[in-house]
């Protein structure tokens, strides 16, 4: 069985690159963003990349001299400036539609475990209690073929999260974008919650195939926004 994970972070998603007129806006409690909303947003991008290119184009006006203005008057000092956004737009215009990802309750639980562990301000794919993504995913089911994980910090809607991961500013190889559009991934789970340093954290797990444990199939609501 071939396993793959992109141990990458979009440079543009890290709080040290953020500054705001109101510093409290960086640590404000995030809104309610569900796993279903995040998976729906990724499927919108996968199934209609041309439409998502139009969404990305609408943010063009928010860039100036390497700084991107985010909602809440938060200014993000990017690594690449508008170049990463333009690269994403070109990719989306060329991309062929992909089948939708099915929402997996087990992968949602794995993602929620990681978000919960990072509430206090930890970052990265490795958890001191939960281990690496493979350990968390295996806790709730069995993977066939491959898996991957994306993490985003400091975004407060499903669209902001997915757009940031597709733009993938500062990430060589655009690994987060590749995960979202990888045609071999058929299922995904997500979770979203508060983060002491960046305001919010979103974890997304992907798999080519995934068989949930029986107790997961028996009754997880897969909301995982806490």
The model's pLDDT over 91-120, given as tens digits with 9 standing for 90+, comes to 999 999 999 999 999 999 999 999 999 998
State how far the Cα of 2 lies from the Cα of 186, in Å rounded to an integer: 15
Strand order of the β-sheet with 74-77 is 18-20, 74-77, 67-70, 63-64
Beta-carbon count within 10 A of 103 CB:
18
Q: How big is the chain, counted in residues?
A: 226
The chain-wide mean pLDDT, for the chain, equals 83
State how far the Cα of 19 lies from the Cα of 85, in Å rounded to an integer: 20
State how far the Cα of 163 lies from the Cα of 177, in Å rounded to an integer: 9
**SS3 assignment, position 222:** coil
Bridge partners of residue 36, in order along the sequence:
none
At residue 209, does pLDDT exceed 80?
yes
Q: For 215-224, give one letter per residue: b (16+ CB within 10 A) or e.
A: ebeeebebbb
First and final C-alpha spacing in the chain? 33
Residues 10-26: tens digit of each pLDDT? 333 333 233 333 334 44
Residues 143-162: tens digit of each pLDDT? 998 999 999 999 999 999 99
Q: How far is CA 186 from CA 125, 144, 211, in A?
A: 21, 11, 12
Average pLDDT (181-201) is 95
Please identify which residue in the block is written with the tokens 């963003």: 33
In the chain, where do the E strands start and end? Answer: 18-20, 63-64, 67-70, 74-77, 102-103, 141-153, 187-195, 199-212
At residue 41, does pLDDT exceed 50?
yes
């Amino acid at each position: 069985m071939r396993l793959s994970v992109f141990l990458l972070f979009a440079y543009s998603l890290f709080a040290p690159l953020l500054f705001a007129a109101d510093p409290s806006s960086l640590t404000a409690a995030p809104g309610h963003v569900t796993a279903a909303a995040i998976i729906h947003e990724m499927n919108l991008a996968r199934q209609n990349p041309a439409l998502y290119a139009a969404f990305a184009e609408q943010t063009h006006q928010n860039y100036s001299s390497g700084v991107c203005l985010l909602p809440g008057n938060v200014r993000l000092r990017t690594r690449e400036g508008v170049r990463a956004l333009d690269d994403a737009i070109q990719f989306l215009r060329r991309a062929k539609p992909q089948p939708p990802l099915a929402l997996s309750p087990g992968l949602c639980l794995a993602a929620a475990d990681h978000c919960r562990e990072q509430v206090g301000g930890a970052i990265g794919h490795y958890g001191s209690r939960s281990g690496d993504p493979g350990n968390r995913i295996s806790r709730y089911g069995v993977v066939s073929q491959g898996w991957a994980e994306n993490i985003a910090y400091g975004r407060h809607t499903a669209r902001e999260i997915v757009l940031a991961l597709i733009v993938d500013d500062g990430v060589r190889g655009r690994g987060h974008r590749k995960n979202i559009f990888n045609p071999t991934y058929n299922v995904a789970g997500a979770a979203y919650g508060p983060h002491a340093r960046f305001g919010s954290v979103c974890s997304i797990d992907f798999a080519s195939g995934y068989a949930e444990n029986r107790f997961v199939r028996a009754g997880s609501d897969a909301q995982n926004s806490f």
